[in-house]
Amino acid sequence: GQQLNQSPQSMFIQEGEDVSMNCTSSSIFNTWLWYKQDPGEGPVLLIALYKAGELTSNGRLTAQFGITRKDSFLNISASIPSDVGIYFCAGLGNTDKLIFGTGTRLQVFP
């Protein structure tokens, strides 16, 4: 099935560092969403982006909807141990089918 290209695949960082990850698609999307998934749990929505060029923050998280509508990035500032998990981007076109990225696994060391 279709999946979005997400990079990096994994990150190992020290507590307090900033993190940046991105997601690209060959298709245009109308909505970009970023989720975090902890082991044994379902994805939890972090940020939703509805307009090309939109920059949205949620606490230490900032995400942007690319101008081309084919990409998005997520930044996490001043990482803490509870940021550990797998981060997924997801795009939504003209249907209700969410297309997910391949995921970025984040590990934070104290």
Partner 1 sequence: DAGVTQSPTHLIKTRGQQVTLRCSPKSGHDTVSWYQQALGQGPQFIFQYYEEEERQRGNFPDRFSGHQFPNYSSELNVNALLLGDSALYLCASSFLDRDYYGYTFGSGTRLTVV
Residues near partner 1 (CB under 8 A) = 1-4, 6, 31, 33, 40-45, 48, 88, 90, 92, 95-103
The least CB distance from residue 17 to partner 1, in Å, is: 25
Mapping DSSP onto H, E and C, the string for the chain reads CCCEEEECCEEEEECCCCEEEEEECCCCCCEEEEEEECCCCCCEEEEEECCCCCEEEECCEEEEECCCCCEEEEEECCCCHHHCEEEEEEEECCCCCEEEECCEEEEEEC
Closest distance to partner 1 from the beta carbon of 108 (Å)? 20
Q: Which is nearer to partner 1, 28 or 44 (CB)?
A: 44
